[in-house]
């Protein structure tokens, strides 16, 4: 199967399955957590939806990267938290219930914000001369198919067949890891010189984005006097973006390999840094509510 065919057909299907898995972890209780952690949810939501894209815009401007890299890093920042964020929050002794709530809300909202932010960033960084012409409707329609519909289907499965959904959550976690490995292998085997020649150029801004967003997430949470466990949760949520989703959007909707490169690099670096951050949070930072853990998440892990 050719690389272009894999990108256009297989990658969106992988995203759909991942989103279906996310939906199968969701219950009405997850939305009710807004009432349990109103301040924490508000801080995590606003940091994810507003602050992250602003930081990405600022870094792209100050670091003088190429227009394609600038659009790519903003696209990464506009995506929701990664599917494995809940696992890392659990291991870091954060608040898994808060993590699930943030991932759910941010995923649903970013289906509307990603098209707006992406369209604006293309016009801002690439100007009127670019061959890329996108509209809100184009990206939104694809996100409905790849993300929103699978999430809704997953939630319906969880509602109608809860035993099946809970029993298969581990399989979806494992599937996401396999999907990451598969996507990485496909990118490497494609031999696209544009990808390899620009990986190093994207590395610095990717690292800067991760460090800035993770640090801001933690310190803003502490500034508003949230517990250490909640601060750790927000830091991981806003730091670990869904780079796979950004990659698929860049390759299949925007149809630009150059714009996908920051997402490819972020998927590797963001995951690696989150592993290190998780160990630091678990071993070095004590928490006043480390024991907080949702049984559903514990069973899923």
272 is written with which tokens? 């690696």
Query: Using 50, 70 and 90 to split pLDDT, how confident is the model at 87?
Result: confident
pLDDT averaged over the chain? 78
Mean pLDDT of 37-48: 87
Q: Concatenate the DSSP letters of all residues of 112-165 into one string.
A: HHHHHHHHHHHHHHH-TT-S----HHHHHHHHIIIIIHHHHHHHHHHHH-HHHH
pLDDT of residue 86: 77
Name every residue whose Cβ is closer than 8 Å to that of residue 196 and which is 6 or more positions away in sequence. none
Structural domains in the chain, CATH included, are 9-284 (1.20.1530.20)
Query: Under the phi-then-psi rule, with left for phi > 0, alpha for psi from -120 to 50, and beta for the rest, what region is 192?
Result: beta
From CA 110, how far away is CA 19, in angstroms rounded? 13
From CA 261, how far away is CA 15, in angstroms rounded? 18
93 is written with which tokens? 């002794």
From CA 127, how far away is CA 81, in angstroms rounded? 29
pLDDT of residue 293: 41
Is the CB of residue 232 less than 8 Å from the CB of residue 92? yes
Helices (H), the chain: 3-5, 11-23, 28-36, 38-46, 52-62, 67-78, 85-91, 96-126, 136-143, 149-160, 162-167, 169-190, 193-223, 228-239, 243-248, 257-284, 295-300
pLDDT of residue 297: 37
pLDDT of residue 73: 93
pLDDT, one tens digit per residue, over 182-238 is 666 666 555 555 555 566 678 889 999 999 999 999 999 989 888 898 999 999 988
245 is written with which tokens? 């989703």
Q: How crowded is residue 167: how many other Cβ atoms within 10 Å of its Cβ?
A: 12
Query: Under the phi-then-psi rule, with left for phi > 0, alpha for psi from -120 to 50, and beta for the rest, what region is 133?
Result: beta
pLDDT, one tens digit per residue, over 261-284 is 888 888 888 888 988 998 888 887
pLDDT of residue 208: 92
Q: Which residue has the tokens 């209780």?
A: 29
pLDDT at 111 over 80: yes
pLDDT of residue 234: 92
Q: Which of 110-119, 216-225, 236-245, 251-260 shows the lowest per-residue confidence on average (mean pLDDT)?
A: 251-260
Is the CB of residue 239 less than 8 Å from the CB of residue 213? yes
pLDDT of residue 129: 57
pLDDT of residue 291: 45
Query: Using 50, 70 and 90 to split pLDDT, how confident is the model at 75?
Result: very high
Is the CB of residue 49 less than 8 Å from the CB of residue 41? no
Query: Using 50, 70 and 90 to split pLDDT, how confident is the model at 90?
Result: confident
SS3 state of residue 280: helix
Q: How crowded is residue 155: how many other Cβ atoms within 10 Å of its Cβ?
A: 21
| Consecutive H or E run containing 246 | helix 243-248
Q: Between the CA of residue 106 and those of 1, 59, 174, 288, what are the distances in Å?
A: 34, 22, 23, 26
pLDDT of residue 56: 93
| pTM of the complete model beyond 0.85 | no
Query: Using 50, 70 and 90 to split pLDDT, how confident is the model at 295?
Result: very low
Mean pLDDT of 73-102: 84
pLDDT above 90 covers a percentage of the chain that reads 14
From CA 155, how far away is CA 98, in angstroms rounded? 18
Q: Which of 38-47, 51-60, 165-174, 194-203 shows the lowest per-residue confidence on average (mean pLDDT)?
A: 194-203
* Main-chain phi, psi angles of 241, to 5 degrees: -85, 160
pLDDT of residue 52: 92
Query: Using 50, 70 and 90 to split pLDDT, how confident is the model at 245?
Result: confident
From CA 300, how far away is CA 98, in angstroms rounded? 16
Q: Which of 125-139, 141-155, 198-212, 241-255 shows the lowest per-residue confidence on average (mean pLDDT)?
A: 125-139
């Amino acid at each position: 199967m050719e690389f272009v065919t894999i990108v256009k057909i297989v990658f969106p299907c992988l995203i759909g399955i991942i989103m279906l898995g996310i939906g199968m972890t969701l219950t009405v209780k997850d939305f009710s957590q807004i009432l349990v952690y109103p301040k924490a949810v508000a801080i995590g939501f606003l940091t994810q939806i507003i602050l992250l894209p602003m930081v990405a815009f600022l870094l792209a401007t100050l670091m003088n990267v190429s227009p394609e890299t600038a659009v790519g890093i903003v696209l990464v920042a506009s995506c929701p938290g990664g599917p494995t964020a809940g696992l890392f929050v659990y291991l870091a002794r954060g608040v898994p219930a808060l993590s699930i709530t943030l991932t759910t809300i941010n995923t649903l909202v970013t289906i509307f914000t990603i098209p707006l932010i992406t369209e604006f960033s293309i016009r801002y960084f690439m100007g009127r001369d670019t061959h890329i012409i996108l509209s809100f409707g184009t990206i939104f329609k694809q996100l409905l198919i790849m993300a929103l519909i699978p999430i809704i289907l997953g939630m319906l499965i969880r509602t109608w067949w809860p035993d099946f959904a809970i029993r298969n959550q581990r399989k979806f976690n494992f599937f996401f890891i396999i999907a990451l490995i598969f996507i990485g292998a496909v990118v490497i085997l494609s031999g696209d010189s544009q990808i390899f020649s620009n990986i190093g150029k994207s590395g610095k801004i990717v690292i800067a984005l991760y460090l800035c967003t993770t640090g801001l997430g933690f310190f803003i949470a502490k500034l508003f006097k949230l517990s250490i466990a909640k601060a750790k949760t927000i830091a991981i949520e806003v730091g670990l973006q869904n780079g796979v989703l950004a990659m698929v959007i860049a390759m299949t909707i925007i149809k630009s390999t150059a714009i996908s490169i920051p997402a490819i690099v972020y998927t590797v670096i963001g995951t690696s840094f989150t592993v290190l951050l998780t160990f630091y949070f678990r071993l070095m930072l004590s928490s006043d509510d480390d024991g907080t853990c949702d049984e559903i998440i514990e069973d899923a892990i």
